[in-house]
Amino acid sequence: MSVTIEKSGPFGHAPSSVSKTMITVLVALLPATLFNVWLFGWPALFMFLITVGACLGFEAICLAWQDRPVKATLFDGSAALTGWLLAMSLPPWTPWWIGVLGALLAIVLAKHIYGGLGQNVFNPAMVGRVGLLVSFPVQMTAFVPPKPLFSEGAPGFIDSLGMVFGGFKNMDAISAASALGHVKTELTKGVPVTESLPQVFDLTSMITGMHIGSFGETSAILILLGGLFLMVRGVISWHTPVGLMGTLFVCASIANFFAPERFPGGIFHLFAGATFLGAFFIATDYVTSPVSKMGQLAYGMGCGFLIWIIRSFAGYPEGVAFAVLLMNALTPVIDHHIRPRAFGRTSKGEPLPVRGDSK
Amino acid sequence: MKLFSIRGGIHPDYRKERTSEKAIVSFPLPATLFIPLQQHIGAPAEVVVKEGDQVKKGQMLAKGQGAVSAPQHAPTSGRIAAIAEITAPHPSGLPQLTVVLESDGKDEWVDDLPQPIADPLKASPDEIRARVAWAGIVGMGGAAFPTPVKLNLGAQLKIHTLLLNGAECEPYLTCDDRLMREHAAEIIDGARIMAHTLGAGRVVIAIEDNKPEAKKIMTEAASGHAGVEVIGVPVQYPMGSERHLTQAITGLETPARKLTADLGVVVQNVATARAVHHAVRHGRPLIGRVVTVSGGALPDPKNIDVLIGTKLSDLVAFCGGLTKPAKRFVNGGPMMGQPLPGLDVPVVKGMSGILALTAEEVNEHPASPCIRCGTCVTICPCGLVPVEMAAVIRKDHLDQAAHLGVMDCVSCGSCSYICPSHIPLVHYFNFAKGMLNAQDREKRRLDRVKNLAEARNARLEKAAAAKKAAAAAAAAAKAKAAAEAASQPPADNRPGA
């Protein structure tokens, strides 16, 4: 008749779980992913599967090594999500070892060295991407123009396997620069933005996604769709995406207003590169971003500002990954300083004064 | 009326429909009743009967002792079979002194019940308070704080509003809902008496919008009385928390470490109001209550009018017995209720619900690592950062937890309920609060000892100084005398004298 008491209440629980959250994010990524598989063809699909598979493999190895429950943790979806996001941030046509190496950096170095799920300071997918970018700049900046599945000139299934595992031939001939890369390169040659930008900037194709870019970042509209889905499901809130995109837009627009030949405008910055993917799926990573809503807003703003700084002044054309990692480092500081006001206390933590009778 | 929003909160699965349409039923007179001497916050009552005594219904069994206490009365007539240590309905499962009353089946009232107070709305507050204290009334929403102490707040502070809490925001519980539907007039009368006692001009009865029938009936019952309003509040757990309800209704935010009374608002539960009505208008002590007996393990959950001291196992049998295995027994609601060690314990005054929950309902899972989703921060109705507090408590940094505001936590359970990693956050906070309270008590004890020791040293020093001074004075006097003696030629020392 008697029941052992191990803990206090509540004696009930919402039907929430870590894996449900992770799976919701994966579902939200699905439209953009499917679109980009179609857009970049078999090599991209193989790269995607290799990267996700490698992440799961490294996760399993790390868990087994630490005598942690492998099956339960592996299928909570967190490693799959890391792999998925890493794949989306890689150029669509990359050799197999890029995906595997990225997974090694993301899962082993960025996640398990720190203690596994929930303990990592830096976004694992972005550690993977940045590690690859600084180590293998050639492979990591070789973007291919869209070659939709089954279209003319698109590699077939077998050819693609050969390319991914045997190496891409003539990559120099087929690859092209991303919009951000093009503008940056031209600028170093002395070509003003006002001239170089119109050559690559076509808003319609950037919204739909029919343009050059990393595997998962091209379609603003589908990423936005996934982001809105996450907001509706309560997985993310508007604070980080709005903070990031708003700040980036404002910084770029102001600079563009004063020096249009040197700085591209806000609209270009929003739709070029990984802004949408970063705003809705990368910067919103739970583990490495602040826990309070106001903290997330500040964090998003910091990301947006750094993206603009890096894109405008640093050597790399794209800055989302670097910006997110830098802000990851600031997350504990933000969490320490920006916290909700406690009930009955001032924002400094002192008890509120008694106001006396109400009218 | 304009309502004010409260921060955070959750929308748990309410599961009230299991009992909300079931009228209150009376439980048949049990053969034996077990009346614990401490059913309230404060000092336990002091027993005034002895083994073998014959008592009548309503006779005092134990009197309150000290400023914060409450007496216990015989719920029926019969013989005192024993006064013994019996397992209390407390998570510890420890026994406490309990009066065991064997019913004689006659259920006869005692002759010397106090007379009804003729016109309580004109009676002096002291008279009402004395009556409420005699009746042993405590907060029946679950806290079981002695009501007369709370009614005395009007003597110290200016109280403008009595807020009657009919929010019943806990899942499963429907006893307040049924009480409001079936005894609206008594509740409103009790509320008016309490408002008069407090000197409050306004009575606001707050009912969550998921109880439209209760709201309608209470509104009708209140319509004839000036200064009594019934207000629907949004369904948002923990709306029934005293501070949050006060904020929702008045917009006033109770400062930390203060009471709602400091803002002029006293909150009382609807069942308490009805008990006050019975004590004042009929001279009846608090010897029974309505309790919701529910949970998935029971085939026929009910709202039961039951005598204090009835064994929970009898009530569970009355609801069809456990037809499914119960994972947890809970005293109160599932969010803030206390776990029960078993069913072999009696009903007490503060027990609003008895739940036999199946494993499926409890939905317990082993905790997994925190993914820092921040949901606990967003929903915390107290504006705290549960994830951070739990992290420091895990490392035993209780001082840091105190700095982060763990003592401001009302243990509403929202964070634990919502946590996707199933981390028992409130368990950590309750642990920390217990430890910090113990440390505080120990510190105060040490301070007292230190003060006493210092006082003693000071006293001894003073005594020593006085002694020394006296000795010095004596020595001085002696020296002076000697000097005087030396200055005078000692006559009798003359040679040859």
DSSP code per residue over B454-471: HHHHHHHHHHHHHHHHHH
Do the Cβ atoms of A291 and B365 come within 8 Å?
no
In sequence order, the β-bridge partners of residue B338 are: B331
- Residue B496 pLDDT exceeds 70: no
Residue range B307-355, pLDDT digits in tens: 999 999 999 999 999 999 999 999 999 999 999 988 999 999 999 999 9
Give the mean pLDDT of chain B: 93
Helix-helix angle A78-88:A18-65, to 10 degrees: 90
Residue A315: which residues within 8 A CB-CB, separation 6 or more? none
Do the Cβ atoms of A291 and B374 come within 8 Å?
yes
Residue type, B477: A
Structure tokens at A240: 């980080």
**Measured between CA atoms, how close is B107 to chain A, in angstroms?**
31
User: Can you tell me the distance from the alpha carbon of B322 to that of B295, in angstroms, rounded to the nearest whole number?
Assistant: 10
User: Can you tell me the distance from the alpha carbon of A49 to that of B371, in angstroms, rounded to the nearest whole number?
Assistant: 25
Is B16 in a helix, a strand, or coil? coil
CA atoms within 13 A on the CB side of B450: 6
Name the pTM for this structure. 0.89
Task: Look at strands B78-87 and B60-63 and give their pairing.
Answer: unpaired
**Residue B80 phi/psi, 5° resolution?**
-75, 110
What per-residue confidence (pLDDT) applies to A164? 87
Dihedral sign, CA of A291, A294, A297, A299?
negative
Helix-helix angle A78-88:A124-135, to 10 degrees: 40
Do the Cβ atoms of B418 and A14 come within 8 Å?
yes
Do the Cβ atoms of A343 and B328 come within 8 Å?
no
What per-residue confidence (pLDDT) applies to A80? 95
Provide the chain A residues 281-300 that lie in CB contact (below 8 A) with chain B. 286-293, 296
**Which residue in this structure is represented by tokens 């990954």?**
A321
**Measured between CA atoms, how close is B240 to chain A, in angstroms?**
15
Q: What ipTM score was computed for the predicted complex, to two decimals?
A: 0.90
**Measured between CA atoms, how close is B84 to chain A, in angstroms?**
21
Q: Which domains does chain B have, with CATH numbers?
A: 113-290 (3.40.50.11540), 367-476 (1.10.1060)
Longest pairwise C-alpha distance within chain A: 84
What per-residue confidence (pLDDT) applies to A359? 38
**Measured between CA atoms, how close is A351 to chain B, in angstroms?**
5
In sequence order, the β-bridge partners of residue B293 are: B302, B354
User: Can you tell me the distance from the alpha carbon of A104 to that of A19, in angstroms, rounded to the nearest whole number?
Assistant: 22
**Chain pair A-B, CB pairs under 8 angstroms:** 200
**Which residue in this structure is represented by tokens 């320490």?**
A336
What per-residue confidence (pLDDT) applies to A11? 94
Residue type, A276: F
Q: Does B11 touch chain A (CB under 8 A)?
A: no
Residue range B183-226, pLDDT digits in tens: 999 999 999 999 999 999 999 999 999 999 999 999 999 998 99
**Which residue in this structure is represented by tokens 């009708």?**
B220
What per-residue confidence (pLDDT) applies to B488? 65
Q: Which residue of B has its CA nearest to A234?
A: B375
Give B193's DSSP letter.
H
Provide the chain B residues 444-473 that lie in CB contact (below 8 A) with chain A. none
Of B269, B278, B230, the closest CA to residue B141 belongs to: B269
Do the Cβ atoms of A2 and B256 come within 8 Å?
no
Give A341's DSSP letter.
P
What per-residue confidence (pLDDT) applies to B17? 95
| Partner-chain residue, chosen from B10, B255, B362, that has the shortest CB–CB distance to A353 | B255
User: Can you tell me the distance from the alpha carbon of A298 to that of A244, in angstroms, rounded to the nearest whole number?
Assistant: 9
What per-residue confidence (pLDDT) applies to B472? 87
In sequence order, the β-bridge partners of residue B103 are: B78
**Measured between CA atoms, how close is B260 to chain A, in angstroms?**
10
Would you write out chain A's pLDDT as a tens digit for each of its 359 residues?
A: 444 556 788 999 999 999 999 999 999 999 999 999 999 999 999 999 999 999 999 999 999 999 988 888 888 899 999 999 999 999 999 999 999 999 999 999 999 999 999 999 999 999 999 999 999 998 998 898 888 888 887 888 888 888 888 888 777 778 888 899 999 999 999 999 999 998 888 888 888 888 899 999 999 999 999 999 999 999 999 999 999 999 999 999 999 999 999 999 999 999 999 999 999 999 999 999 999 999 999 999 999 999 999 999 998 999 999 999 999 999 999 999 999 999 999 988 899 988 644 43
Is B220 in a helix, a strand, or coil? helix
Task: Look at strands B228-233 and B202-208 and give their pairing.
Answer: parallel
User: Can you tell me the distance from the alpha carbon of B173 to that of B140, in angstroms, rounded to the nearest whole number?
Assistant: 13
Provide the chain A residues 239-278 that lie in CB contact (below 8 A) with chain B. none
**Is residue B235 exposed (0-12), middle (13-18) or buried (19+ Cβ within 10 Å)?**
middle
Structure tokens at A218: 């091209």
Do the Cβ atoms of B334 and A11 come within 8 Å?
yes
Do the Cβ atoms of B422 and A339 come within 8 Å?
no
Do the Cβ atoms of B326 and A296 come within 8 Å?
no
Q: What percent of chain B has pLDDT over 70?
A: 98
Contacts of residue B361 in chain A, CB cutoff 8 Å? 11-12
CA angle A312, A315, A318 (to 5 degrees): 60
Structure tokens at B278: 């019975």
**Is residue B178 exposed (0-12), middle (13-18) or buried (19+ Cβ within 10 Å)?**
buried
Radius of gyration of chain A measured on its C-alpha atoms: 22
